Amino acid sequence: MLVKSFFYKNSEILIWKTTETVEELLQMVDNSLQETAQNNLRTIKLEKRKKEWLISRILLQKATTDHKDLIIFYDKYGKPATATHNISISHSGDYQTMILSEEYQTAIDIQKISEKTVKISEKFLSPNERQIFDANNPKISTLLWSAKETAYKLYGKKELDFRKDIKIISKNFDENKLEILIKKYHKITVEVLFFDDYILTYCEE
């Protein structure tokens, strides 16, 4: 079910909590996509993946933005888009989210707060970032991981080292936003939203 939708600058953000079966989700898909949906579901083995495929199409339908095309395609780097809008999709646990904009590049990430990000923090945080931020705090480490994921998706070319090429330049932990520098010259602001045990990070430029 759609639990939240809102606008950020020129982008629309939608959050879905999965409570439905594959069959129930299939019934929610636009009639024009029914045949495509059924054909695609036959090629997907995992039920979780089937739900994610369906929910991404349902979120696009439910967006209030005036779109002309419900077909999602992927560029050579695996970044999703439609014929009329830039989009970004993310899922974690029971939640799936989408951000879309007709004019601007967008990116979004959702993560369930987890101890796992503490254990792998040395893989995505530089020594300096580990000194500035409390990487042993699951809430903080999950936020930093999610923010870097959003930056990575915005860049969209899959040639970034999380430790070297994506730098958190905020001087302290901020639960509302983080400043990030990509490849030493590309500065972005990542917005943050906490809900339940999840963290949502997103940006537009």
Can you list the domains of the chain with their CATH numbers? Answer: 2-104 (3.90.470.20), 110-204 (no CATH)
Model confidence at 92: pLDDT above 90: yes
Give the list of residues 6+ apart from residue 148 with CB closer than 8 angstroms, or none. 124, 162, 166, 168, 180
pLDDT for residue 67: 59
* 8 Å CB contact between 176 and 118: no
Average per-residue pLDDT in the chain? 92
CB 52, CB 46: distance < 8 Å: no
* Residues 152, 16: Cα–Cα separation, whole Å: 23
* Predicted structure pTM score: 0.94
CA-based nearest residue to 110, from 180, 179, 196? 196
8 Å CB contact between 5 and 62 = yes
Residue labelled with tokens 């495509």:
36
Q: Are 95 and 108 in contact (CB under 8 A)?
A: no
pLDDT of residue 87: 94
Does position 188 have pLDDT exceeding 80, yes or no?
A: yes
For residue range 31-52, what is the model confidence (pLDDT) as tens digits? Answer: 888 888 888 899 999 999 999 9
**% of residues, the chain, pLDDT over 90:** 75
pLDDT score at 8: 96
Per-residue pLDDT tens digits for 53-75: 999 999 999 997 665 566 888 88
Q: How far apart are the C-alpha atoms of 157 and 48, rounded to whole Å?
A: 26
